Amino acid sequence: MNAPAQTYSEIAPERLLEAANAQRAAGSRLVQICCSRLQHFELLYSFSRPHTIEHLRICIPDSRVALPSISSIYGGSFAYENEIHDLYGITFTGMNVDYQGHFFRTAIPAPMAVPPVCAAPAPKPNKPQPQKEPT
DSSP string, 72-134: TTSTTHHHHHHHHHHHH---EET-SS--TT-SS--SSSSTTSSPPPPPPPPPPPPPPPPPPPP
Question: By residue range, what is the domain housing residue 59?
Answer: 5-93
In a domain, 123, yes or no: no
In a domain, 20, yes or no: yes
**Per-residue pLDDT tens over the stretch 38-78:** 889 999 999 999 999 999 999 999 888 999 999 999 999 99
In a domain, 62, yes or no: yes
In a domain, 10, yes or no: yes
Single pTM value for the model: 0.81
Instruction: Indicate the pLDDT class of residue 101, thresholds 50, 70 and 90.
Output: confident
The total domain count for the chain is 1
CATH assignment at residue 19:
3.30.460.80
In a domain, 72, yes or no: yes
In a domain, 43, yes or no: yes
